[in-house]
Amino acid sequence: MKKKWPHIKKVENHGTIRFMVDARFEGQGERKFFPTKEQADGFAQVCRLRRHSEGVSGFAEKELKSFGWSVTDAIKFSLAHLRRQSASISVAKAVENLAEFKEKNSRVGATRLNDIKNRLKKFTEAVGAETKIALVTTEMIGNFLATIPTASTRNDYRKEIVMLWAFSKSKGWVAEPLDKHLVPRAAEAEKARIILSVDQAAALMLHSKADDIRTLNALILFGGCRREEVEKMNWSHIDFDNGHINITAEISKVSTERFAPINDTLKAWLLTNKKDKRRGPIISRHLMRPLRAVWKAAGVYPWPQDAHRHSFISYRRTQVGDAITALEAGTSERIIKNHYKRPVSKEAAERFFAIRPAAQGKVIPITAAA
């Protein structure tokens, strides 16, 4: 029967009994003597564990080398991962910090901020509120996105998650921004932007009876501003004397200043606002519910996303071309050519920009030039 390594042998010398552990193997190792059998057995067990560990280590090192890594590289990587994990925070806390950052730095309007919170709340519930964000895998993210049936909506959620990871990377809560190749965008069928007809636009303005809603809709519908830009504007951005809207880099979606002209139609609608035109925010409340009521009253509900801005671009490009429209709306000619393909007649464009309040200071009735 083969002896178990390392070998233990009882040795007697001049009446003294000791136990020798022969831990030599393939020309290496040592022999050690112990006064008791228990001590010898303990050392032998240590030798066996050490040999097993070295064998596993040797196998792991061989596999690491196949990837071009050394054991040292693996240890450094593991330590860095463990440090990041210990410095990470829960997904719920990361989302909370992102929302506070966005709100404090006024980078988004109230509606946009509400969208971010709602979408990331659902994501948080799916992966676990107390899960550390450093431990959330791309597989977990992909599984969550797979539950959203509509490609465009799925991409909206994906956009917020990508933003959360970029923010968390800047704070040291995750190792890297989200790998967009591992969490790809869903393929969306290309479609022309939905716009309002002249009658629908007139109905929208007819039912926009509150000052803030009427001003918001007018700035988007006839000035080409983005909704989130208007929500961050003060009346000081509206320069009636020089005839333009100063959309500063701080409130612009693309962080680039532009000066959108105040045409006669937009000016007529802005002057119906009873507030002081030189002070205070244009929007001072959350408008989602009031806007929904206006859309329903105007007969344009469910509301096509960004329909009033898409309408401005579509009707305006018929009048002045893509280059000028792009400058006024703060977009690019490429985007207009690629996405605003719905044909609009010159007559319709003229009727659209002839939608006016019937009299200064009144909101009804509205006439659209024939």
The per-residue pLDDT for range 278-287, each reduced to its tens digit, is: 578 888 888 8
Q: Residue 364: its pLDDT value, please?
A: 42
Q: Looking at the domain assignment, is residue 251 inside a domain?
A: yes
The helix/strand/coil state of 342 is coil
Q: What is the pLDDT of residue 363?
A: 42
For residues 150 and 136, give the distance between their C-alpha atoms in angstroms, rounded to a whole number. 23
Place of tokens 């507030």: 275
Q: Is 123 within the bounds of a domain?
A: yes
Mean pLDDT of the chain: 85
261 vs 280, more confident:
261
Q: CA 79, 80, 83, 88 torsion: positive or negative? A: negative
Instruction: Give 245's pLDDT tier (boundaries 50, 70, 90).
Output: very high
Number of folded domains that form the chain: 3
Domain boundary pick from 155, 171, 187: 171
pLDDT of residue 55: 61
* Mean pLDDT confidence for 149-173: 92
Distance CA(226)–CA(247), nearest Å, equals: 10
Strands (E), 75-208: none
| Helix runs in 242-360, H state only | 264-270, 288-298, 307-320, 322-329, 333-339, 346-352
Please determine, for residue 221, whether its predicted confidence score (pLDDT) is greater than 90: yes
Q: Are residues 224 and 345 in the same domain?
A: yes
Residues 265 and 341 occupy one common structural domain: yes
Q: Is 82 within a domain?
A: no
**What pLDDT score was predicted for residue 366?**
46
User: Percent of the chain at pLDDT above 90?
Assistant: 51
Confidence band of 41 (pLDDT split at 50, 70, 90): confident
What is Dmax (Cα atoms) for the chain? 126
| Opening angle at CA 282, ends 280 and 284, nearest 5 | 85
**Do 113 and 228 fall within a single domain?**
no
Name the region of 172 (left: φ>0; alpha: ψ -120 to 50; beta: rest). Answer: left
One domain, residues 136 and 19: no
267 and 123 within one domain:
no
The reply to whether 339 and 238 lie within a common domain is yes
Residue with tokens 């009636």: 240
Asked whether residue 183 is assigned to any structural domain, the reply reads: no
Q: Of 42-46, 169-173, 266-270, 325-329, which range is least confident?
A: 42-46
- The average pLDDT across 190-198 equals 85
Asked if the model's pLDDT at residue 44 lies above 50, the reply is yes
Do 234 and 294 belong to one domain?
Answer: yes
DSSP string of 211-253? HHHHHHHHHHHTT---HHHHTT-BGGGEETTTTEEEE-TTT-T
Query: Cα–Cα distances in Å, from 95 out to 123, 142, 168, 304, 335?
Result: 10, 18, 9, 28, 31
If asked whether residues 211 and 349 sit together in one domain, one would say yes
209 and 275 together in one domain: yes
Q: Return phi, psi of residue 184, to 5°.
A: -75, 160
Query: Cα separations (Å) of 44 from 29, 37, 40, 47?
Result: 12, 10, 6, 5
User: CB-based contacts of 241: which residues, under 8 Å, 6+ apart?
Assistant: none
Cα–Cα distance for residue pair 216/212, rounded to 1 Å: 6
Assigned domain for 155 exists:
yes
Do 122 and 247 lie in one domain? The reply is no
123 is in which domain, residue-wise? 91-171
Looking at the chain, the whole-number percentage of residues with pLDDT higher than 70 is 85
The contacts found for 160-166 with CB under 8 angstroms, 24 or more apart, are 160/115, 160/116, 160/119, 160/120, 160/123, 161/120, 161/123, 163/98, 163/116, 164/94, 164/95, 164/98, 164/120, 164/123, 164/133
- pLDDT tens readout for residues 51-75: 766 665 555 566 667 777 776 777 7
Minimum mean pLDDT among 186-190, 199-203, 259-263: which range?
A: 186-190
More confident residue, 108 or 326: 326
CB 318 within 8 A of CB 169: no
* Residue 124 pLDDT grade (very low, low, confident, very high; cuts 50, 70, 90): very high
Question: Same domain for 47 and 139?
Answer: no
Residue type, 165: W
Residue 301 in domain: yes
Instruction: Tell whether 180 is covered by a domain.
Output: no
What pLDDT is attached to residue 201? 96
* Structural domain includes residue 177: no
Q: Are residues 250 and 118 located together in one domain of the fold?
A: no
